[in-house]
Amino acid sequence: MALDEKKIKKKIQAVLDTISPGEFVCEERKNRGKSAINKPVDLQISLRSQPDNALICIEVADVNSTQLVNEATRLFFDCCYRKILILGTNNVPQTTGKNICEDVLKRFYGQDDIKFTPARVILYNENFEKDFEEEVEKILREFLVRY
């Protein structure tokens, strides 16, 4: 089964409502976002009071191994500072896919560890949705700490 962007959006919104009810909103970014390569990512998180001011951009990718670098590149070149890549596990080996994306992002940012970059990679496997939600919450709490 393909990774469903609308389902991911609902899950992220549920996590946001747990963190701070009614304060943040997860919405589509494709038609409103900005990108250095004119390919904004799929979703964004913003304050509900400022829906056009993205705090975090999110790329939802259910691709094969040869497309992983493209997805990481698209994420990197989005103009929003904080970034999350949600990687579906249907078409790529879980650890390999995540490691490839993290390696690309680390190199783009000139860092040795992904934690020193404003980007994170999360695996999505429909058999482990609770793990996914916990990982999303952990990253959102880290990224939204000042709000």
Per-residue tokens: 143: 């990224």
What is the Cα 135 distance to its own chain's centre? 11
Strands (E), 1-147: 24-28, 43-47, 54-61, 82-88, 119-124
Identify which of 9, 6, 5, 11 has the alpha carbon closest to the alpha carbon of residue 128.
11
18 pLDDT band, cuts 50/70/90, is: very high
Q: How far apart are CA 74 and CA 30, in angstroms?
A: 12
Instruction: Give the chain's mean pLDDT.
Output: 90
pLDDT tens for residues 85-138?
Answer: 999 877 777 678 899 999 999 999 999 999 999 999 999 888 788 899 999 999
Q: How many domains does the chain have?
A: 1
Q: How far apart are CA 39 and CA 35, in angstroms?
A: 6
pLDDT tens for residues 55-67?
Answer: 999 999 888 878 8
Q: Which domain holds residue 136?
A: 5-143
Identify which of 122, 40, 31 has the alpha carbon closest to the alpha carbon of residue 74.
40
Q: How far apart are CA 124 and CA 12, in angstroms?
A: 12
pTM to 2 decimal places? 0.91
To the nearest whole percent, how much of the chain has pLDDT over 90?
63
Which pLDDT score is estimated for 1? 47
